Every structure is written in structure tokens, then in C-alpha cells.
Amino acid sequence: MNIKQKIGLLADAAVISANVRQAVFQVIEKLQQWQLDLQREQLQMLLTHLAMALQRAERQQQLDNGLEPALFQEVQQSANYHSLLARHRQLLALTGQTLNAAEQSFLIANLHALSLDQPHLLSIPDTEK
């Protein structure tokens, strides 16, 4: 089962709304343009976390606590943090939603892990962003 089908199942089961499904599909489209492998577990985890974060935001139930500060600090100290942050902001902008810092910390950490799994995420030319 591909990630679009998985996200579709979450919507069909009313775990996420149709609006959230559409927002995640827009992110998937961008990731495909960036030629990322959508079958990789790390990318599927990122998209599932994104869907749930967007759903919490839609229900005004965002997380109060983000990623463990020491772990997030490691991500922030990575050599590619600014590129990760730019990618994160770009993907989040596609959703039309705003997430609190706690939610964003988990998504940025997921992007960091994705960049380790698919390093070309960080080498996409600026014209592709």
C-alpha cells in the first residue's frame, strides 16, 4: 500500500479530515517533484506525523510539549539545520496551516531523519524549492 492510500484510509476512517488529506496530498506532490522515494519508511513516518499534527491543529488540540529539548538541540546543531528549516517551512506553507512550536519540533526532527535517509533532500537547487 502506498502512502497516498494510507493517508486516504485515515480520512476514510475519519481519523483525519478531508481537508487534512488534501493538504498532505499537496505535500506528497512536492516530495515527488523533489524525487524523494515515497516508499521509504522514514518519509511515510513524516507524512503520517504531519497528517496527525494538522488534524490536531484543525481540532485546536496541538501538543503542549515538543521533542525532548536535548534531542531537538542536536537537530538544531546539525550542519544542515538551516536547509532543514527552509524545507520544513516550505512544506508547511503548502498545507495552509499553522502549527505550534511543539508540533513543529517533531516534524523538523522527522525531516532531519529523512535527510539522513535521502540526503538529496538537502541538495535540491533553490529553483526547485
- Model pLDDT for residues 19-48, shown as the tens digit of each residue: 999 999 999 999 999 999 999 999 999 999
Domain map of the chain by residue range? Answer: 3-122
**pLDDT above 80 (res 69):** yes
What mean pLDDT value characterizes the chain? 93
DSSP one-letter string for the chain:
--HHHHHHHHHHTTSS-HHHHHHHHHHHHHHHHTT--TTSHHHHHHHHHHHHHHHHHHTT---SS-S-HHHHHHHHTSTTHHHHHHHHHHHHHHHT----HHHHHHHHHHHHHHHHHSGGGGG--GGG-
Predicted TM-score (pTM) of this structure = 0.92
pLDDT at 125: 65
pLDDT at 127: 53
- Model pLDDT for residues 89-114, shown as the tens digit of each residue: 999 999 999 999 999 999 999 999 99
**pLDDT above 60 (res 129):** no
Q: 117 or 126: whose pLDDT is higher?
A: 117
